Structure 1
Amino acid sequence: MRRRAAKAVVKLRFVLVPLWIVGAVLAFVYLPSIGEAGSSGVDGLLLPNDAPAVQAEELSKQNFQYPLIARTLVVRHDESGLPPRALLEAAQMAQAVREGQLTDLPGLAAVAPVPNVVFEPEAQPTTVLYYLYFRPGVYPEEAQDLAQRFADQHVAPQAEEETFVGVTGTQQATTVREHIIRDSLPLVTMATALLVVLAVGLHFRSPIAPVVNLLTVGIAFIVTSHVLGWLGQTFGLAVPREVEPVVVVLLFGVVTDYSIFFLSRFRDRLREGCSGEDAAERGTADVIGIVFVAGLVVVLATSSLIVAKLSFFQLFGPAMAVAVLIGMLVTVTFVPGALAIGRRFVLWPRARSGRAQGPEEGAAEEEDDHSSDRSLSARVARLSARRPLLTATACVLLLGAAATGLFRYELANPIIQGLPADTGPQRAYAAATEGFLAAGVVAPTVAVVRGPDLAGQPERLEELERLLAAQPGVATVLGPGDLEGLDENAFVTESGDLARFLVILEEDPLDGRAVDTLLRLEDNVPGLLQGAELENAELMFGGDTAISAGLVEGTVRDLGRVAPVAVLATFLTLALFLRSLVAPIYLVAASVLALFAALGLSAYLYEPLFGPNAVSFFVPFAVSILLLALGSDYNVFLAGRVWDEAQRRPLREAVEVASTRAARPIATAGLILAGSFGLLALVPLTTFRAVALTMGLGLLLDAFLVRQLLVPALIVLVGRISGWPGRWLGKRSE
């Protein structure tokens, strides 16, 4: 089957190669790219509509003139103290907005100034926050423009020259983050292209081989970007902005890995004395099945995210699957064709032109090229094959020790703090938190109470407000009369069946501690309502902290749904490829252990590198699926080589020989893939730098420790039964 496929691809080279080039051009011209089709940040793809946090916000939106949650705010801060007139100016500004006097800002519905003395009555006034509320129909981009104009034209002129005035909030931060991702994408693309060109060129010592690889990657990237854009436009799906850089590095890394496998076998066949076309055909036959199965494993594992409930994961997984599927199809058809067309010139100047190398000459050159690498690879393979118990035990202990960092994980949603320190929202956030004891003031939580005749029970609402304020982790609660610029109807509906409060948390509203506080509040709802004698009412929470809490809980639940599907898909693919039910068990187990080690080791490094609570909720989830899928690539490549060698050698010898021969391609592929993902650190957001760190560590552990030491040792330890119920591995003479 593999030989027929290889023969067909090589024979049709003058059709397939131009066809992919023309297809890429047509996709570029006629199909929208990801960005052109419209994209959304992860925060635009949040919880299902029936989530309590979403319902609380919908109730506020439908029954009040405007939401009480302020996702955009202006900060006026002077650490040496604001003048006495500043608080009066803030109150007058709120009154002017309420009376419609700011005709240059028609979309602004209300402004609620909150000075720091609300929390510390005896303190010196240093900071005033202006919560901005917009009229229905105002789009986020328009809201950001209104906020900036309000700050520049109405707050800044009243402030002294040394006073800081800026705009922050989760909505402003989301817009800035999307701009950063968009602006960083060309740099990530160029840096990744340069990495793979240098890596492939040095590996094969040829300037031509990188060109073949770069053409393959370029075709795959163009087709993938525009197919994803077309799918998004056709089905009305906004591909998350966070997906685009990941698609770039994933495609560059995966396609380069697969191309290296083809180029390596092509080179080996040339050294055996084959002609250029014959070397392309026979080399392709050697690896086309492995590459196809490896790509299929990644496609199936990433596709498992479709069973998640959070829409971000439902889009992230299939987008990765489409990217890898297209990349694999381009590689298995374009690269063999290019090799057959270019022949020896593809590896110029290392492959001599004009005559075929004899086996002795080729072997001598191979020894000259890789003598030190082969010597090291042989020693490592010999250690795994001859001391399997010691090797496996040491690897498991090392990986297990690294995995202990899993207990340090604290998921957050660092929309603001994940930005670079010099961005506007981050600077304004720092000014606000410097002026207020409670960091939660930058993104308050809304508590929505629904029940009969609430307007006629003001004492009970006041008691509920007091009980909420007394909860651990809550700094204060703001209700009727506490905010200038907002009248009584902002807190209790005219019908009297709905009331709401602003709950200010002590901690950063988007970090793990604030999420824990919100979850405790939700658990205490029955007691709170009973204490306020409002047993017939409902109490729910909305706002960014409530959404983050829902996302963290939803991520944990989705992990329970997705992980078994991803593991099962990987196991079944390996079982079919190896015709075994035994080997896939420990191969998948080794991948999972490597994944735990990467996550744990990264957790030890997150806080020193990025600060506390800087890791977004989706980082460990998305990384887990990618590492499990990509690690299975190396499972397929290594196990496939061992199975082939075991047909003619004793198992221990087969493992030693196959591990030695597979070591360099796996190491090179691992370094390139880890380097590709490492370049995500060029996006100056802590979320992408966390992905870069975890993926880089995971891929290096997988390529160097797991595939070169642990897996060979496990194959020897389990023995010939690894092939059951198919053919037992190795010659019986062993």
Structure 2
Amino acid sequence: MEIFFERMGRLVAGKRTKWITLLVWILLAAVLSIVWPGVKLMEQNNAPNLSNDKPSVQASLLAEQEFPNDSGIPALLVWNREGGLNDEDFGNIQKLTAYFTENPVGGQELVPPFDRIPLPALKAEASEDGTAFVLPFFFEKTSDSEIMESGVEEIRKQAEVLFGYDPFAVKQGDVNEISARVSGPAGISIDAVGLFSQADVSLMIATVLIVLILLLLIYRSPILAIIPIIAVGFAYGVSSPILGKMAELGWITFDSQAISIMTVLLFGAGTDYCLFLISHFRQYLTEESSKAKALLKSLKDSSGAIAMSGFTVVIALLVLLVAEYGALHRFAVPFSLSILIMAFASLTLVPALLAILGRASFYPFVPRTPEMQEERARKKGKKLKATNKKPIGGWIGRVVTKRPWAVVSITVVILGALALNATRIEYTVDLLSSFPEDTPSREGFAVIGEKFTPGELAPVKLMVDTEGKEVALQDSFKDLPYISKVSDPAQGATNTNIQAIDLEFNINPYTNEAMNHIPDIRAEAEKSLQDAGVSSPENKVWISGQTATQYDTEMTDSRDAKVIIPIVIGLIGLLLLVYLRSIVAMIYLILTVVLSYFSALGLGWIVIHDFMGDAAIQGLIPVYAFVFLVALGEDYNIFLISSIWKKRKEMPLKQAIQEGVTETGGVITSAGLILAGTFAVLATLPIQVLVQFGIITAIGVLLDTFVVRPFLVPAITMLLGKWAFWPGRHMEKASGKKSLSG
């Protein structure tokens, strides 16, 4: 394998081929960007997350067929004047409905005929205190967020004409003017896409800046800081049109959230791969006067670890293809393909750039051999000063080899205590709660919850097949403690045996409490059918609505976690076994990263819940974080263990561990800080799900960087001794050259 990478180095970074490699990347990125659409042009932000076999989806399809007047995506226009809505306000609302009845916006399906209702009857539909009114607009089921946003903008313009000012810009709680907000499923969808779209540019800028700043602080070289940015730019430039073309052909779908996280992953992981090579190059430049020889040795030493690390991440991300939840499933191809291209760029483009720039890459702190330093000092007429600078992290190598039991005990206790805290975590699938409080859909919901009953925002539709029998459906639900309102029964349009009622919760329909009542509603409906003599009642109940959708989402998330986590562990374990040829090493490397993952969840919950005050974290985050942290965490283990495995062939294991920890300490610390920094950028965005994901992932990376990799893994290796290589053989070598760590 080392011979292969050495030959590849000569091919991509030779005297002439380095320019050819650079030219190929430039042409590849340019041509693909011209002939194929970019990834941003092919985003699909309203792709379904639940498959058609999910109960809530089947119920929605039945509702569309049997109760077509109730179909569509509701946009709830929430009107509010704290001093009380007046006759002029209601008159303008009637004019608004009349206008859009005659002049429907794109994608509009239905507007209630409020303009035909007498004013006293319309006022009776307002809140009890007369300060709020909800006007629903229904968009077609096929409408995406762009169509709905365009329609809402038309409504806003017409409202400004009728009221004489823009009620959508009026601050909530104003006494003198009426305010309007769009809530409900349509409003939430519009705000979700808007928040992610707004985050794209700021996220890209912030990520580039954090990488540049950290590289400048760590390496103090402006040229070196730009090299990883260039590599990531080319990787993105190639992967973007490829992903865009795949989406155009209908092979994959992705949304703006996936692209945002993909960008962060590219910068974080891509910079890590670049640094793995750059660190070796800098070291060999102090030993070799020829930059070409130094680069070839660097590639020979680091390429295997880079390739293995990249392949580990790619395989782990591809496992997301088995996810049933759409958002998870859609992440698989964009993430894995972009990392694969980034790893390839690290092994081809980056060596070519280093070959072109040579020692100038590290300016002004240029690494030179001792002979070159002496010659440089002689020419300047200065005496070369002796240096006794010890490598950073040398003391860690001594500690983990002299007191491995103490190191393992302390680190396991600390990480175990944090992991235990993960059992306290509360989860939610409520998207609305992840929005900033001043988001229109959330402000509108707050008014509905305060002025009406919160269940009006998202009622549940219960449908049953009565087989023509008398079923007291309404009576069965009107006295339930969690239901505030039950509608009159309605019959199906094509099947009159289908009977439906709308149920409004007296609690927030997006909460876990409401969601957990979905099985109760189903059980109550089945009991009513059974009492009426309906056969097989368990197959004749359907529940649709946002609360039912969230219940299915939670069930799907739970299923995905149970399937994805074991597969990821198994595949990464298999890759480690093939690479290291040691069952024992594979087991403890997997266990340490899994322990680190649960510790990150526990510490993340302390930050998110105890310090930031969030009541719950989004339900998808544990699976997201697991795939990223286990795959990326193994990168550092692979880089460390590769160094130890190589050195133990030339020196005693204790010395190999010391030198391996010392040699990799600087680069892994730098890489970990940069990777954690890029994920931490997500915490600056106004979207709770990305904030929480960024915090937990950054914490996990830091734990891997400063606890698992430098202390726990080498200490376990020291304790196991020759058994760390089982079933491979380890022949203890005699003491070799003096340790780098002193």
TM-score exceeds 0.5:
yes
Q: Which amino acid aligns with 1:444?
A: P
Given candidates 24, 29, 39, the residue that maps to 2:29 is 24
| Alignment partner of 1:433 is 2:449 | yes
Q: Quick one: structure 1 residues 260 and 101, their matched pair in 2 at CA, closer, same or farther if it must change by over 3 Å?
A: closer
493-502 or 615-624, which moves further after superposition?
A: 493-502
Cα distance, 1:407 vs structure 2: 2.3
Aligned equivalent of 1:206:
221
Tell me by how many angstroms 1:231 deviates. Answer: 1.4
Question: Given that residues 653 and 721 in structure 2 are in contact (C-alpha distance below 8 angstroms), is that contact kept between their aligned partners in structure 1?
Answer: yes
Q: Which residue of 683, 686, 698 maps to 2:685?
A: 683
Partner AA of 1:505 in structure 2 = F
SS at match of 1:414: coil
- Within 1, Cα distance between the matches of 2:424 and 2:432? 22
8 Å contact kept, 2:92–2:163 = no
Q: After the TM superposition, which residues 337-416 of structure 1 pair with which residues of structure 2 at under 5 Å, given as runs?
A: 337-351=352-366, 357=372, 371=390, 374=391, 377-416=393-432
Q: Which runs of 5+ in 1 are unaligned?
A: 481-487
- Normalised TM-score (structure 2): 0.87
Partner of 1:625: 627
What SS does structure 2 have at the residue aligned with 1:509?
coil
Distance 1:425 1:492 in 2: 32
Q: Judging changes above 3 Å, is the alpha-carbon distance between structure 1 residues 326 and 116 closer, same or farther for their aligned structure 2 residues?
A: farther
Normalised TM-score (structure 1): 0.88
In the alignment, residue 365 of structure 2 is paired with which amino acid?
A: R
Q: Select which of 457, 473, 476 maps to 1:464.
A: 473
CA distance in 2, matches of 1:682, 1:615: 16
Partner of 2:380: none
Q: Distance in 1 between matches of 2:516 and 2:374?
A: 67
Q: Which amino acid aligns with 2:7?
A: R
Partners of 1:468 and 1:528 within 8 A in 2: no
- Residue segments in structure 2 that go unaligned for 5+ positions in a row: 115-120, 168-174, 378-383, 737-742
RMSD (Å) for aligned C-alpha atoms? 3.3
Which stretch has the larger CA shift, 611-620 or 382-391? 611-620
Of the three residues 219, 222, 238, the one matched with 2:234 is 219
**Distance (Å, rounded) in 1 between the aligned partners of 2:104 and 2:230:** 52
TM-fit CA distance, 1:713: 1.2
Secondary structure of 1:649 counterpart: coil
- Alignment equivalent of 2:58, drawn from 52, 55, 59: 55
How do 1:443-458 and structure 2 match up within 5 A?
Answer: 443-453=458-468, 457=470
CA distance in 2, matches of 1:170, 1:252: 34
- Structure 2 partner of 1:336: 351
Q: Distance in 1 between matches of 2:732 and 2:370?
A: 38
> Paired residue for 1:168?
183
Q: Which amino acid aligns with 2:503?
A: V
Q: How far off its partner does 1:688 sit?
A: 0.9
Contact 1:298 1:324 in 2 (8 A): yes
Letter in 2 for 1:470: D
Structure-2 change in CA distance of 1:192 and 1:494 (3 Å): closer
1:124 CA displacement? 2.9
Partner SS for 1:476: strand
CA deviation vs aligned residue, 1:281-316 (integer Å, no higher than 9, x gap): 111111011100011111111111112222322221
SS of 1:357's equivalent in the other structure is helix
1:247 maps to what in 2?
A: 262
Corresponding residue number in structure 2 for 1:616: 618
Bigger Cα displacement from structure 2, 75-84 vs 301-310: 75-84
CA distance in 2, matches of 1:445, 1:166: 22
Counterpart CA distance in 1 for 2:227 and 2:424 is: 44
1:37 to 37, 42, 55: 42
User: After alignment, is 252-261 or 203-212 more displaced?
Assistant: 203-212
Match of 1:510, SS state, is coil
Alignment of 1:73-222 (within 5 A): 73-83=76-86, 102-105=101-104, 107-111=108-112, 123-134=128-139, 140-147=145-152, 149-150=154-155, 153=158, 157=163, 161-222=176-237
Q: Deviations over 1:319-362 (max 9, x none)?
A: 21111100000111111121122111111221168996369999
Question: Which deviates more, 55-64 or 679-688?
Answer: 679-688
In structure 2, C-alpha distance between the alignment counterparts of 1:136 and 1:240, rounded to whole Å: 19
Contact 1:389-1:713 within 8 A present in 2 as well: yes
Match of residue 669 from structure 2: 667
Question: Partner residue of 2:545?
Answer: 543
Find the aligned partners of 2:278 and 2:148 in 1 and give their Cα distance.
Answer: 54
Q: 1:88 to 1:22 in 2, by over 3 A?
A: closer
Q: Distance in 2 between matches of 1:365 and 1:188?
A: 45
Checking the alignment, whether the CA contact within 8 Å between 2:73 and 2:141 is kept in structure 1 is no
Single out whichever of 156-165 and 620-629 deviates more from structure 2: 156-165
Deviations 1:507-541 (A, max 9, x none): 33223222222244335543343356655652221
Q: What is the letter of the counterpart of residue 33 of structure 1?
A: G
Q: Check if 1:559 corresponds to 2:561.
A: yes
Q: Relative to 1, partners in 2 of residues 1:116 and 1:343: Cα closer, same or farther, differing over 3 Å?
A: farther
DSSP 3-state at the match of 1:427: helix
Whichever residue aligns with residue 46 of structure 1, its letter is N
Q: Distance in 2 between matches of 1:228 and 1:367?
A: 51
Per-residue displacement from partner, 1:405-461 (whole Å, max 9, x unpaired)? 32233332333232223332222122222213x32322222212223226xx3xx3x
Change (3 A) 1:64 1:351: same
Find the counterpart in structure 2 of residue 527 from structure 1: 527
**Is the contact made by 1:270 and 1:356 (CA closer than 8 Å) also made in structure 2?**
no
- Deviations 1:99-129, CA, capped at 9 Å, x for gaps: x983123734243989998899xx5343322
2: distance between equivalents of 1:116 and 1:272?
86
User: Paired residue for 2:118?
Assistant: none
